[in-house]
Each structure stands twice: as structure tokens, then as C-alpha cells.
């Protein structure tokens, strides 16, 4: 059984993924926030020593850790630029060949909603957060070409048991489809550097996800089952830029609430 490190394991996506993949791989979970689990190692990836500690002896890394929305540059710099570099570099130094990186729909969020984009489009980030994801994509490309690492990039939409609103009908990613795509990223032989979209088989998708299909991805879910109910309760938006572009409010907001942020005064 392969040993797989999941960073950012206490976050939303990490929690879904750890549950879905339990039993399939020997999971090592890690985060800077604590988690009460036997296979958990607490680490702060902005410190190289911690990144080296958690990547030692694993077959693959699923690097979910980082700042997950638009916010202050300093936070994004620490978590998504320095932290991301440390994880790639630590994996390389520890001889880990395969790394999966959840980039984001926000790396391409300034494409319009009336466009269909594939894995070859030039990035169009919609935020500082989106720029940090493009950095991760570029870093992965470098580590693949220069060091022969096997890099699987998933431009993830929105993971959850159900889509949240009209925009998310296009980018919804169910937990079981997430687990399927991640398993392909871990197990498929011959990966050098691939970009795929991390979404379910949504009828309303803005993406041509044929690269994921080519690699064997067969999503089981489609947000259409929720569309009627979601569209009924959707309130009209006055933000024309957000409405016209795939990244939605990330295209205009300076800050989006970060669900993973430690509560003020409770930072551990």
C-alpha cells in the first residue's frame, strides 16, 4: 500500500479527501492546526525543517495546505509561495517522485463565463490568491522538467457534498469525484506534468476537461441534479464583473472570508 502525505488535512478539502481515501492508501495527515488522529503530524510548511520532516518516506504528496481564498498578500506569500516552495523542494530532497497540487479555478478566473477553456490556456488569475496558484503551477512545471518529478495539477472548483450557488453549478466537485481524480494522480503510471480540472461531470462546466478524461477520469456526479433548487434561490447580483467571469467575486473582492483562518486570539 502506498504511503501518501496530505498537507492541509484539517481543511475542508483535506477532510473530505482523508475520509474518502482511508483504507486505500496509508495516509499521513498534516496541518499547522491540530487534529486528533493517530496518523497526524503537526507541521508548519513555512519552515523547511517541518516540510522535510513530513515528506520523508512517502510515495506521493497531495499538497492541499495553504491559504485558500483571496486575502492579505503577506498571508498568501507565507503559505502559498514560501510554503509551496518548501513542500516541492522538501519532496525533491527526500526523493519523493510524485506530487499532486490542487491549483484552483482562480488561476484562470478572469476567463469569461461564455468561454470554454481547456488545460492549455494561458493563466488568467483573478486575485493574489489566483496568482499564488499560478506560481504553484509554474513551480510544478520546473520540478518536472528539471528534476524529473511527476506532477499532477488539479485546477479545483468547489468541493462539497452539494453545489452552493449558480457559479458553483459550473465548478462543483463532489467528494467521491475528488477521490477518483486524486487516485488517478497518485496511481497512474507515466505522469510527467499534467493539468486537469477538478470538477464533477457538470453539464454547466466552463471547462473542456478532456485531459482528465484521457487519463481515465470518469466523474460520477453532475451538479445539474441541484440546478433547479439553486437557481430558484439565487439572488440577482449587482457586480457585473463578477457575474461575467468564471472566478466570480474573486475578480472584484480584496478579501474573501477564509474558512480556515484561526479565530482571533485563538491562534495556536
Residues in contact with ligand 15L by the rule CB under 6 A: 68-69, 104-106, 158, 168
CB-nearer residue toward ligand 15L: 49 or 231? 231
159 touches 175 (CB < 8 A) = yes
CB-nearer residue toward ligand 15L: 104 or 180? 104
Q: Residue 20 belongs to what H/E stretch? A: helix 12-21
For residue 155, which phi and psi values (nearest 5 degrees)? -80, 90
25 touches 2 (CB < 8 A) = yes
Q: In the complex, what is the shortest distance from the CB of residue 19 to ligand 15L, in angstroms, rounded to a whole number? A: 18
Residues with Cβ within 8 Å of 86's Cβ and at least 6 positions away in sequence, in order, are 45, 46, 47, 48, 50, 51
Q: In the complex, what is the shortest distance from the CB of residue 94 to ligand 15L, in angstroms, rounded to a whole number? A: 27
Which residue, 14, 1, 104, 90, is CA-closest to 53? 90
Q: In the complex, what is the shortest distance from the CB of residue 162 to ligand 15L, in angstroms, rounded to a whole number? A: 13
3 touches 55 (CB < 8 A) = no
Q: In the complex, what is the shortest distance from the CB of residue 23 to ligand 15L, in angstroms, rounded to a whole number? A: 26
Q: In the complex, what is the shortest distance from the CB of residue 92 to ligand 15L, in angstroms, rounded to a whole number? A: 25
For residue 53, which phi and psi values (nearest 5 degrees)? -65, -45
Catalytic annotation, pick one of 25, 129, 143, 217: 129
CB-nearer residue toward ligand 15L: 150 or 209? 209
**Catalytic residue flag (residue 122):** no
CB-nearer residue toward ligand 15L: 3 or 237? 237
Residues with Cβ within 8 Å of 82's Cβ and at least 6 positions away in sequence, in order, are 46
CB-nearer residue toward ligand 15L: 158 or 180? 158
Which residue, 4, 136, 169, 143, is CA-closest to 68? 136
Give how far Cα 222 sits from Cα of 1, 32, 162, 177, Å: 31, 33, 10, 10
Rg, the chain, Cα only: 18
Catalytic residues: 129
Amino acid at each position: 500500500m502506498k504511503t501518501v502525505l496530505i498537507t492541509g488535512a484539517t481543511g475542508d478539502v483535506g477532510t473530505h479527501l482523508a475520509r474518502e481515501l482511508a483504507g486505500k492508501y496509508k495516509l499521513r495527515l498534516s496541518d499547522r492546526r491540530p487534529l486528533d488522529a493517530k496518523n497526524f503530524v503537526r507541521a508548519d510548511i513555512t519552515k523547511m525543517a517541518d516540510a522535510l520532516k513530513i515528506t520523508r518516506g512517502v510515495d506521493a504528496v497531495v499538497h492541499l495546505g495553504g491559504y485558500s481564498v483571496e486575502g492579505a498578500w503577506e498571508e498568501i506569500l507565507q503559505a502559498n509561495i514560501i510554503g509551496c516552495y518548501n513542500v516541492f523542494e522538501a519532496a525533491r530532497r527526500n526523493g519523493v517522485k510524485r506530487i499532486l497540487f490542487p491549483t484552483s479555478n482562480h488561476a484562470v478566473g478572469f476567463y469569461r463565463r461564455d468561454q470554454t477553456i481547456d488545460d492549455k490556456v494561458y493563466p488568467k488569475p483573478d486575485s493574489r490568491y489566483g496568482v499564488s496558484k499560478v506560481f504553484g503551477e509554474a513551480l510544478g512545471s520546473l520540478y518536472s522538467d528539471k528534476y524529473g518529478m511527476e506532477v499532477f495539477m488539479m485546477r479545483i472548483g468547489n468541493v462539497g457534498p452539494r453545489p452552493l450557488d449558480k457559479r458553483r453549478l459550473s465548478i462543483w466537485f463532489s467528494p467521491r469525484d475528488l477521490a477518483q481524480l486524486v487516485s488517478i494522480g497518485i496511481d497512474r503510471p507515466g505522469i510527467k506534468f499534467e493539468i486537469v480540472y477538478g470538477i464533477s461531470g457538470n453539464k454547466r462546466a466552463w471547462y473542456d476537461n478532456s485531459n482528465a478524461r484521457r487519463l481515465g477520469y470518469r466523474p460520477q456526479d453532475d451538479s445539474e441534479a441541484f440546478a433547479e433548487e439553486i437557481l430558484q434561490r439565487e439572488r440577482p447580483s449587482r457586480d457585473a464583473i463578477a457575474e461575467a467571469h468564471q472566478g466570480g467575486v474573486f475578480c472584484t473582492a480584496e478579501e474573501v472570508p477564509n474558512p480556515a483562518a484561526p479565530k482571533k486570539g485563538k491562534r495556536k
